[in-house]
Each structure stands twice: as structure tokens, then as C-alpha cells.
Amino acid sequence: MNWFYFASPATFYRLAGRLAPWFFAAAALFAAAGLYVGFVVAPTDAQQGEVYRVIFIHVPAAWMSMFLYFVMAVYGALSLSFNTRLSAMMARAVAPTGALFTFIALWTGAFWGRPTWGTYWAWDARMTSELVLLFLYFGFLALASAFEDPRRGDRAAALLALIGVVNLPIIYFSVKWWNTLHQGSSVSFRGTSMHVAMLQSMLLMSAAAWMYAIGATLTRVRAIILEREVRTHWVRALAAGGP
């Protein structure tokens, strides 16, 4: 398969248009299954009662917030290294969804923290580094739109994305490096300390988050392609009667 064929905005626009609805549909199905298992099948937690159910949205959102930043930085690196237009557009398309998941992780963490820790917010290492991640996303978006020439914005934002990658291991290892309010990981490649239904719900919700993030990114990159390629013949022809 010639992957460079899909690096053309015109080709990728059509491919993204065909794929995005399927990813949104898969996200809805995974979310419905995850919520069912999480709220109906999973038992009440012995220590936290019902409030632990926030975990089914909090943990997938936190995972996605870090993973999407990494993806955004990889696209930024590709755009800087090979000067590929589509990579820069993809980095821009990933950023708002990454910021959304970071916001959800922080918000749900606050509403989980209040009944369990007694406070909505503490300057705990994990929470603070996650907040820095949100500011990095905002910085990326602001920097990308700060230039009249979008290609200059792409390069500046890609550089910021690459520098910000240093924050990802800080978030991940913060619970080991510092004495924080956060507990250590309940799930690892070696096993889990969770009830099986709790784990199933969390994984289903994570799959929903993945599918949603891909669907939203593909949908957004289509709009970015239209904005950037507005003067090309294929976009004119598409607007005249295409999908």
C-alpha cells in the first residue's frame, strides 16, 4: 500500500469523510455498553460507595488527554521534519479534542476528589501536571492561530508541542516520584486489583473515548482542509456539488 497516497489532503478528505461516521457510531456503542456495565453490572465499592463510578469517565479521559498530546506531538514532528501539510493539519485537528479530554479529566477528578479527599482541588503533583497539560493544549491552539501565514503557525505550534512532551512522563510518574493524594495505577500490563466488571466498564469507556477522538479529529481535519485548500480546484468542485 502506498501510504503517501493518503498524505494528499484531497485524498484524505474523502477517506476521513467515509470513516468518521463509523468511528462515531462505534463510540456510541462502546459508551452505551460501558455505561451499562459501569452503572448496572459493576458492584458498589466497599470504601467509596457509589461515587467511585466517576472512574469510568475520569480514567479514560485522563488516558486520552496524554495519548492525544503524544499523537499531536508526533504529527508536529512529522510536519517539521518532512514539511507535510496534512501532518500539520492533523496536529491542529487533534488539539481541541485533547484539550476537551484534559478538561473532562480535571473536572471529573475535582468532583471525585470532593467526597473522597474533602476538596475539589489540591496542588497535588498529578493534578498540577495535568493542569499544565491543559495549558499546553491552549498554548498550542493559541500559537497555531497567532500567525497570518498558517504554515508559520504550524511550525511554531509544532515546536511547542514537542517541548511539552516532557510533561507526559511527569504526569504518568508523578504518583511514584512524589507523595501525592492520587493512588498508584490500578491497571497495568501485569494485572489489575479491580473487580472484573469495573475493569470491563473502564476498558469499554476507554474504547468509546478512542473512537470518539478519532471521529472528532477526522471531522475537524476535513474542515481544516477546506479552510486551507479553499482556492484549489478540487475544493471548488467539491463545494459545487460534492459530498
| End-to-end CA separation in angstroms for the chain | 26
Residues 129-148 that bind other proteins (CB under 8 A): none
- For residue 104, state whether it binds other proteins (rule: CB under 8 A): yes
Do 105 and 65 form a contact (C-beta atoms < 8 A)? yes
The three grid cell numbers given for residue 105, joined into one nine-digit string: 479529566
Q: How far is the CB of 191 from other proteins (least distance, A)?
A: 27
- For residue 236, state whether it binds other proteins (rule: CB under 8 A): yes
- For residue 226, state whether it binds other proteins (rule: CB under 8 A): yes
Do 102 and 65 form a contact (C-beta atoms < 8 A)? yes
3-state helix, strand, coil in the chain (%, to 5): 80, 0, 20
Taking the CB of residue 3, how many other CB atoms lie within 10 A of it? Answer: 6
Do 23 and 215 form a contact (C-beta atoms < 8 A)? yes
Query: CA angle at residue 112 from 177 to 62, to 5 degrees?
Result: 55
- For residue 100, state whether it binds other proteins (rule: CB under 8 A): yes
Residues 184-223 that bind other proteins (CB under 8 A): 212, 216, 219-220, 222-223
Candidate ranges 63-71, 108-116, 147-155, 159-167; the one touching other proteins (CB under 8 A): 108-116
Q: How far is the CB of 131 from other proteins (least distance, A)?
A: 16
- For residue 235, state whether it binds other proteins (rule: CB under 8 A): yes
Residues that bind other proteins (CB under 8 A): 49-51, 53-54, 57-58, 61, 96-97, 100, 103-104, 107-108, 111-112, 114-115, 212, 216, 219-220, 222-223, 226-227, 230-231, 235-236, 239-240
